[in-house]
Amino acid sequence: MLNAQRLELKHIDDKGNFAGYASVFGVVDNQNDMMLEGAFAATLLDGKHNVKLLWQHNMDEPIGVFTLLREDARGLYVEGRLLLEVQRAKEAHALLKAGAIAGLSIGYVPVRYRIDPLTGVRLLEEVALYEISLVTFPANAEANVHAVKQEETSLLRSGELIRLSDAIDEAIAVISR
């Protein structure tokens, strides 16, 4: 059985490009699972991973491609693009922009894990990652995607776009108090 974790999509650009975190380490999701740092390393190790971008975990409905997948200290960072020539991707894009859906979910099979005896949380040390889907009801509330535009590629590659967007979100929160 594939398990899922959430990725909330806050923004997406008109070309269908996005970037953010598909999984954040150290967060207990609503399935009582927690990804640990390094959980995706084996999947990403050889650079030939073939992680699919799907609609609602439906293997018959690929809707885009990933241009970058990497682990960092925060979690599984992804960059991808919806293929707007595909009808379902076009529909997903419209739903995302309208805020009707707001999540991504990872499909994986646990490879190595342990159960915390005090909390019962399954601590995932290694998973085989197969797909990341746009979904209506995701599991992990801690991951975010920010808009990506062609001219922001150098910022995106360095991770600065995400940090800048997070700083702006924090400043808005402080001002709004």
pLDDT at 132 over 50: yes
Catalytic residues: 57, 105, 131
- Overall domain count for the chain: 1
50-84: per-residue pLDDT in tens? Answer: 899 999 999 999 999 998 999 999 899 888 899 99
Mean pLDDT in the chain? 79
pLDDT at 107 over 70: yes
Bridge partners (DSSP) of residue 151 are: none
- Within a domain: residue 83? yes
Hey, what's the torsion of the CAs at 122, 130, 85, 58, to 10 degrees? -70
- Within a domain: residue 1? no
- Within a domain: residue 167? no
- Within a domain: residue 173? no
Residue 58 lies in domain: 6-150
- Within a domain: residue 124? yes
For Cα atoms 172, 15, 74, give the angle at the middle one, nearest 5 degrees: 50
Residue 51 gets the label, from left (phi > 0), alpha (psi -120 to 50) or beta, of: beta
- Within a domain: residue 165? no
pLDDT at 37 over 90: yes
In terms of DSSP H, where are the helices of 17-159?
Answer: 41-44, 87-98, 153-158
First and final C-alpha spacing in the chain: 44
- Within a domain: residue 23? yes
Sign of torsion, CA 2 98 65 86?
Answer: positive
- Within a domain: residue 75? yes
